[in-house]
């Protein structure tokens, strides 16, 4: 990796990836996002920061020109509230996925990474909180999350066929609920860990000891800390594994247990108010890491407790700054 393009670099995972690549000595990094640079979660002066809408093929061609490695993380997405209420917008990310892949092929890119999602898995296999961990084969027969999941699954197939037909080495990771500092924590696009950290921090700072929970709190998930996500991503990118792999934690917890952990970190006890008609997605979702352990020797090493402690500390400071004002 000498000349690397990271799309979605102004987002959560993209910003952390750019930081990691810098730390590992990658000489030339082009960071691209549709948002103005001052709205990026992380931006670095020694990186080529580009504002571009990659839905258009011409912008995609300019972004990929002169690069040998592409990490495509650009997508219009968010937490479950956003995904369930913006299916068409999520589907339109297929323009970015397709055009960046086309442009990468034209530019002679050697390796191409696509960030997929656990939302590609069949909904029928996620109907119980005691869900069986999802294996890579469980994506078929296909019945993914409506909107967002279909776009991700289609783009996976596109990457596969570009590898078969044109010889570009593609790698696909199915991310499972990645969380950590320097990400969306408010505004409707945040995911469960950041949302709960925000609600707990707000309750503590305002002394209003109530917390609103979407659903009954018994739905289950596994959550992957950002450092582990990057370790798995870079290991996959350097491998000869062409098939999609889970990059996720296999530690299953209920949303109620997640609230317990964040409340303990904050040192507060809260009264829970359940919103049963709020978006909550599938009933249970967990990652089966059998294949990724066998092929990459990878498994998350950050405990949920430690990851949440780091995330809560960062979100707490954001909430405090917002409450105090400029």
Catalytic residue numbers, as ranges? 148
How far apart (Å, rounded) are the C-alpha atoms in residues 66 and 68? 7
The answer to whether residues 316 and 201 touch, using CB atoms and an 8 Å cutoff, is yes
Helix 192-206 crosses helix 304-324 at what angle (to 10 degrees)?
50
How far apart (Å, rounded) are the C-alpha atoms in residues 274 and 257? 14
How far apart (Å, rounded) are the C-alpha atoms in residues 95 and 157? 14
Query: What is the Cα 234 distance to its own chain's centre?
Result: 15
CA atoms within 13 A on the CB side of 183: 30
Q: Which residues contact 92 (CB under 8 A, 6 or more apart)?
A: 55, 76
How far apart (Å, rounded) are the C-alpha atoms in residues 46 and 221? 37
* Cα pseudo-dihedral 227, 229, 232, 234, rounded to 10: -80
Name the β-bridge partners of 273.
212
DSSP state of 118: G
Name the β-bridge partners of 245.
173
How far apart (Å, rounded) are the C-alpha atoms in residues 168 and 69? 10
Of 118, 309, 83, 85, which is closest to residue 201 (Cα–Cα)? 309
Is the backbone of residue 325 left (phi > 0), alpha (psi -120 to 50) or beta?
Answer: left
How far apart (Å, rounded) are the C-alpha atoms in residues 265 and 269? 11
The answer to whether residues 148 and 175 touch, using CB atoms and an 8 Å cutoff, is no
């Amino acid at each position: 990796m000498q000349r690397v393009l990271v799309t979605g670099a102004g987002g959560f995972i993209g910003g952390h990836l750019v930081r990691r690549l810098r730390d590992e000595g990658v000489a030339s990094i082009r960071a691209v996002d549709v948002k103005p640079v001052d709205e990026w979660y992380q931006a670095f002066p020694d990186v080529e920061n580009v504002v571009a809408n990659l839905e258009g093929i011409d912008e995609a061609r300019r972004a990929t020109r002169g690069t040998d490695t592409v990490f495509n993380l650009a997508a219009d997405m968010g937490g479950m509230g956003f995904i369930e209420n913006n299916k068409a917008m999520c589907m339109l990310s297929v323009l970015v996925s397709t055009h960046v892949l086309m442009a990468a092929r034209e530019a002679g890119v050697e390796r191409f990474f696509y960030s997929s999602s656990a939302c590609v898995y069949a909904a029928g296999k996620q109907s119980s909180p005691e869900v069986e961990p999802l294996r890579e084969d469980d994506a078929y027969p296909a019945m993914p999350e409506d909107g967002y999941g279909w776009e991700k699954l289609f783009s996976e197939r596109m990457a596969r066929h570009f590898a078969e037909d044109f010889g570009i080495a593609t790698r696909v990771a199915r991310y499972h609920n990645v969380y950590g500092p320097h990400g969306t924590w408010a505004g409707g696009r945040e995911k469960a860990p950041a949302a709960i950290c925000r609600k707990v921090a707000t309750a503590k700072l305002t002394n209003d000891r109530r917390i609103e929970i979407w659903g009954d709190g018994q739905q289950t998930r596994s959550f992957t800390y950002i450092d582990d996500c990057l370790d798995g991503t870079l290991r996959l990118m350097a491998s000869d594994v062409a098939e999609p792999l889970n990059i996720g934690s296999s530690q299953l917890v209920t949303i109620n247990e997640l609230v317990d952990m964040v409340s303990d970190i904050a040192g507060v006890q809260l009264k829970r108010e359940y919103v049963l008609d709020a978006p909550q997605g599938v009933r249970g979702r967990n990652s089966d890491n059998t294949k990724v352990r066998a092929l990459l020797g990878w498994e998350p090493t950050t405990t949920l407790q430690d990851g949440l402690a780091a995330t809560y500390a960062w979100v707490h400071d954001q909430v405090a700054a917002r409450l105090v004002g400029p």
